[in-house]
Every structure is written in C-alpha cells, then in structure tokens.
Amino acid sequence: MSASIVGWAHSKFGKLEGATVESLIVDAATEALAHAGLAPADVDEIYLGHFNAGFSHQDFTSSLVLQASPDLRFKPATRVENACATGSAAISQGIKAIEAGRARKVLVVGVEQMTTTPGPEIGANLLKASYLPEDGDTPMGFAGVFGKIAHLYFERYGDKTEALAMIASKAHKNGMSNPYAQMRKEFPFEFCRDESEKNPIVAGPLKRTDCSLVSDGAAAVVLSDNDSARSHDQAIQFRANIQVNDFLPMSKRDILKFEGCRTAWARAFETSGLTLADLALVETHDCFTIAELIEYEAMGLVAEGEGERAIKEGLVLKDGKLPVNPSGGLKSKGHPIGATGVSMHALMAMQLTGKAGDMQIADANIGGIFNMGGAAVANYVSILERVK
C-alpha cells in the first residue's frame, strides 16, 4: 500500500445540541488538518462520507467541507456513500486517489446527524440499507433484520443470550475509557442478559443493550503518500485496505457466515503478509451484539459457530489475546452512520501512536479494522501499522 494517515480529528458522539452537519464537518476538517501540520492549501482532494438517507435536508454536502477555509475553494470534493460503511468507503477512495498519482494529500471527513430525526423516520431511513423487496416490511426496521439473524443463529447453534450480554457489557465497560463515547456508563452482565422494563426486547432475541445508538458526530483523517508521510509528526501506514461486496438479498447467501467479512479479512491478510496473530487489537462493526459475535468467527479468531468462546474465554477483552473494540465500539461510542468508518481509523491511529489515553492497548503497533454496510454486504478491512 502507498498511503498513510498523518492526522486526525474526532468529535464527541451523541445528541449534540446546537451542532449542524455543516459545523460538524468544518470542525473535524479544521482539527484534522491542524493535527497533520498542513495548511488547507496543501490538500489535493477531499472525500466526504455522508450516508444521510433522509437524516439531513441538505442532501448535497460534499462542498460543505470547503466551509472550513477559503483555501479549499476549487479543490475536488466528492461525497461517498455505502450504507454503514460510508466512512471506510470515503477513506478507500482517498487511498485510490493517492495510488493513482492524482493526489498526495487527501482530506477525508465522515459525518452524520441523526438525533434531530423523529424515531419512526430513523427506523425507515436505516431500513433502506437492507433489500427492500424482502425486508421492507420488517418490524423494528434494521434492528428487526438483525433480530432475524440472531434468531437464525440461535436456531443453528443454540441460545447465545449470555454471550451477547457479555459482549454488550464489555462494550460499555470499554466505553467508560473513551472521551468521545456517547454512553459512558457501565451495564453489568446481568442487566444486559435479563429482559426488563429498562432493557426490553427490541427484535427477535435482541434487547435494547444489544443495539447500537442513534448518534450525531464527525471524524476526519488526513491521508498522505508514503514518501512524504515521514515528514509529518506521525505516520500510520495502510498494510491493507480491502473492499468486498456481497449480494444485497440475504436469501441469496448463508447470512450466518458473513462471507463478505470473512473474504475481506482473508484478502487483507494475503495483501499485508500478516496473520490475525500479528494484530494487537481490532475495531469491528458491532452495530448489534450478534454482529460482533459472528465477526469473531469471520476474522478467524474462533471456528464457525463458536463465537461465544471468544467472549466467554476472555480472548477479546482489553487484556485478552486480541482486544476487540477497546473504544467501546458502536454499542457504547455511538454510530453516526457516515462518521463510523472514519472514526474507527482515527481511533486506531490514536492506538498505534500511543495517544489513546485510557483506551490504550499496551505496545499496539499493528491493528485491524472491520466496517460493514448493510448485513455484511459492503465489507471493508484495513490493516494499519505505525511507521512513525
């Protein structure tokens, strides 16, 4: 790979009173450029990750990044969208621009403002990331889609309620250490496991604590060609950046295998010359706890159908064999759709440069990221390594 991350920024996630899509973009872009030690005039190309799907009345948003500085005027700016993997899709386009020789410095911003949308509309907007001819009438929207997946998993491999509760509890414990997280509150295993008035069933076997959060937020990274990246204060190189798309209808695949995720990881390891054992940590897409459970299997940490082993044996805890989501993941950090993939890369850059604060995994030098759009439809894996 020929691209590195040389700067980043991250807003707090949550219900951000007074913020707008524009203000979130401008703040993240400004901070990321400053962190990279670049002037706006140094930017060659801009990519904005913004899912929208009805969350924002302003649907044409790419040039809002130019509001950060008059010196960004006339720079090429493109909005990128790929459902919940929108942020990683924007990063992927930035890397391709560098590899094609069309740019040396690329600014990537991811943003979403979801909390100003009424609840029923939120569900309808998110359901657009599914195959509507099959899933368009699913109760509870996208949560209902993953409720189906959880139900099918339980049918095939047995009741995994305890494993899902352990994943949820882990996420909230880790999120306590993340200053950007929307929900910095611990939930004990028993609370996550038991249905209650405060933790009701949402869809299938999934309870409220199994579902990620509706969020506002933004994140940004500055990408550089590797030759000039070493002139920056920090440089985190892409050892791999892989995109794999699968069929949109779940009826055309075995949804419990997350084959797109599995293939993306396999190709990333092949490209990088690394294995799972070389990773110090992983940030993975836990839109729902059942997704994280299946992703343990898809990345090769445990065998198919044995995802619960990863959490029950402590393999994925912060002090485990492979810490997963030390940030608290989407479950605790929040999930502003267009910002999520960029957030994962920014947080990984913090980890690999030893700047993750209380989230820090000791001696982290190589890390993996998995971000997906839809139910394992658009699958992105990045493997990052610190070089400076």
Q: Shortest CA distance to 370 belongs to which of 242, 252, 272, 279? A: 242
Residue carrying structure tokens 């100003």: 116
Does the active-site annotation cover 261?
Answer: no
* β-sheet with 45-49: strand ranges across: 77-80, 45-49, 105-113, 216-225, 3-10, 236-245, 378-386, 366-373, 281-283
Tokens of 252: 């055309």
Q: Shortest CA distance to 301 belongs to which of 83, 31, 144, 292? A: 292
DSSP state of 158: -
Q: At what angle do helices 289-298 and 259-272 cross, to 10 degrees?
A: 50
Does the active-site annotation cover 335?
Answer: yes
Paired residues of 367 in beta bridges:
281, 384
Of these residues, 35, 84, 192, 287, which one is catalytic?
A: 84
Strands (E) across 151-258 are located at 201-203, 206-207, 216-225, 236-245
Number of neighbours of residue 137 by Cβ within 10 angstroms: 9
Q: Shortest CA distance to 86 belongs to which of 149, 129, 118, 39? A: 129
Pairing of strands 201-203, 206-207: antiparallel
DSSP state of 39: -
Contact 9, 346 (CB under 8 A): yes
Q: Shortest CA distance to 164 belongs to which of 195, 127, 126? A: 195
Catalytic amino acids? 84, 335
